[in-house]
């Protein structure tokens, strides 16, 4: 058996932990990775918000259609800035409501700043007849104008009252 002195045994033990240089290099790599990842999260956030607005609009059309059938009376889904009456400016991003002739059934608040919700023909209202049929076809496009983004959602409402949501990218969103 070899005779090892205690001083030599201690010299062979490796120190544990990180040096300051190793820690700084690790932090620098982490910062670079975060800087690369953060812009992609913006795209995910935009996509989620657009989908949220589209889902709310689909829910509003379904409510309007079902209430029209249930009440046997026309129900209106319309742009509304004040949450009580329909507006005529066609700017759905200011908020919208579902209403009968006598009462407001649902109020959707204004969209976040920079988002646009516009009906393709400039209409401010979609009316569902007592049969559940729409008075015509509508297509409401949801996009972000400022800062500009290339993603959008379109909620198409057929004359039969059915809704579909389509996703697109590569276009632009008009700020007006």
At 12-61, the pLDDT tens digits run 666 678 889 999 999 999 999 988 877 777 778 888 899 999 999 999 99
Query: Does pLDDT of 176 surpass 60?
Result: no
pLDDT of residue 170: 64
Asked whether the whole model's pTM tops 0.85, one would answer no
Domain extent at residue 99: 18-169
In a domain, 130, yes or no: yes
pLDDT of residue 1: 53
Query: Does pLDDT of 174 surpass 80?
Result: no
pLDDT of residue 144: 84
Q: Which class for 147: exposed (0-12), middle (13-18), buried (19 or more C-beta within 10 A)?
A: exposed
Strands 75-79 and 163-169: unpaired
In a domain, 8, yes or no: no
Instruction: Supply the DSSP symbol for 156.
Output: E
In a domain, 175, yes or no: no
In a domain, 176, yes or no: no
In a domain, 2, yes or no: no
Query: Does pLDDT of 150 surpass 90?
Result: no
In a domain, 12, yes or no: no
In a domain, 52, yes or no: yes
Q: How confident is the model at residue 11 (pLDDT cuts 50, 70, 90)?
A: low
What's the number of domains the chain is made of? 1
pLDDT of residue 69: 95
Classify 99 in phi/psi space as left (phi over 0), alpha (psi -120 to 50) or beta.
Answer: beta
CATH of residue 146: 3.55.40.10
In a domain, 69, yes or no: yes
Average pLDDT, the chain: 86
């Amino acid at each position: 058996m070899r005779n090892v002195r205690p001083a030599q045994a201690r010299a062979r033990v490796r120190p544990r932990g990180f040096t300051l240089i190793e820690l700084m290099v690790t932090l620098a790599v982490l910062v670079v990775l975060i800087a690369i990842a953060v812009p992609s999260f913006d795209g995910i956030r935009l996509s989620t918000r657009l989908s949220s607005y589209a889902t709310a609009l689909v829910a509003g059309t379904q409510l309007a259609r079902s209430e029209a059938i249930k009440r046997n009376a026309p129900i209106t889904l319309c742009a509304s800035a004040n949450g009580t009456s329909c507006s005529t400016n066609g700017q759905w991003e200011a908020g919208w409501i579902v209403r009968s002739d006598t009462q407001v059934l649902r109020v959707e608040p204004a969209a976040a700043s920079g988002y646009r919700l516009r009906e393709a023909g400039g209409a401010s209202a979609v009316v569902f007849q007592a049969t559940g049929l729409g008075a015509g076809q509508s297509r409401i496009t949801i996009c972000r104008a400022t800062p500009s983004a290339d993603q959008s959602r379109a909620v198409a409402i057929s004359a039969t009252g059915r809704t579909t949501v389509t996703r697109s990218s590569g276009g632009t969103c008009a700020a007006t």
